[in-house]
């Protein structure tokens, strides 16, 4: 596995973004590899986003919703 992978995460503002906040509030730890981007709903994620992100060097993509 790469030493510093980049995991792009598209997080729905209602649920998974809030979940990520909750992880912070509870002082949980997760790898700095997770790169969150807030969206209004996971359905907003256009498949083209994923392709473009991989082309730009993302190692993994998490769509949370």
Partner 1 sequence: MSDKIGIYVCECGPNISGRVDIDRIIAEISNLEEFSDKELIVKPHKLLCSVGGKAFLEEEIKNNELTHLVCAACSPRDHDTTFINVCKKTQLNPYMYTIVNIREQCAWIIPDKEKATDKAIQYIRGGIDRVLYQEPLFEKQLESNPDVLIIGGGMAGLTAALVLAGKSRNVYLIEKTSILGGKAALFSEFLPHQSDIADLKNKIKEVENNQYIRIFRNTELEKIVGFLGNFEIVLKQNQTGDTTDLLAGAVILANGYELMDARELDNFKYTDADNVFTGLEIEEMLTSQGKITLRSGEKPRSAALIHCVGRKEAGYCSQVCCNYLLKTAGYLLKQVPGIEIIDLHQDLCQPHTEDQAYFESFKEKGMQFCRVQEVALDGNKIEYVNMAGEKKEIAPDMVIIAPAMKATASNEALSALTSIDLHETGFFQEAHIKINPVSTKTDGIFIAGASRGPCDISEAMIQAQAAGGKILTQLIPGEKIIPEVKVSEILEAYCTGCKTCLDVCAYGAIYFDNERGISVVNEAICRGCGNCVGSCPSGALRSRHFTNLQLYQQVKEALR
Q: Which residues bind partner 1 (CB under 8 A)?
A: 6, 8, 13, 18, 20-21, 23-25, 27-30, 32, 35-41, 43-47, 49, 52-53, 56-58
Nearest approach in angstroms of CB 27 to partner 1 is: 6
Can you point out the beta strands (E) in 1-65? 7-12, 34-39, 60-64
Answer whether 9's CB lies under 8 Å from 42's CB.
Answer: no
For the bound state, the minimum distance from the C-beta of residue 2 to partner 1, rounded and expressed in Å, comes to 13
Closest approach of Cβ 3 to partner 1, in Å? 13
Smallest CA-to-CA distance from 9 within 54, 65, 64 is with 64
């Amino acid at each position: 596995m790469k030493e510093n992978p980049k995991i792009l995460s598209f997080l729905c503002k209602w649920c998974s973004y809030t979940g990520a906040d909750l992880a912070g509030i509870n002082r949980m730890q997760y790898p700095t590899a997770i790169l969150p981007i807030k969206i209004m709903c996971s359905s907003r994620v256009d498949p083209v986003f994923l392709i473009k992100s991989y082309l730009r060097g993302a190692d993994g993509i998490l769509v949370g919703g």
